[in-house]
């Protein structure tokens, strides 16, 4: 990815995120590790979260109340 930036190509990377990912306490560290490994600026990362992930997470928090 740094090679593309050196050529003036600034690309974003979009990643689909599941409910499982959102509930995983290790997920932020994994994302950070991958950003570092690929030398990718976090500003270029787009996390795509589906509405079904929000519904599932909301259902779980409602059930706990």
**Confidence bin at 56 (pLDDT 50/70/90):** low
The residue ranges of every structural domain in the chain are 12-64
H runs (alpha helix) in 1-65: 2-6, 19-23, 27-37, 51-64
Average pLDDT estimate for 4-21? 81
What gap in Å lies between CA 36 and CA 30, rounded to an integer?
10
Over 90: is that where the pLDDT of 1 sits?
Answer: no
Burial class (CB in 10 A: 0-12, 13-18, 19+), 48: exposed
């Amino acid at each position: 990815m740094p090679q593309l930036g050196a050529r003036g190509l600034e690309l974003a990377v979009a990643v689909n995120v599941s409910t499982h990912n959102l509930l995983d306490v290790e997920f932020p560290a994994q994302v950070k590790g991958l950003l570092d490994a690929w030398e990718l600026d976090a500003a270029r990362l787009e996390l795509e979260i589906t509405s079904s992930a929000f519904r599932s997470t909301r259902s779980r928090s409602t059930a706990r109340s």
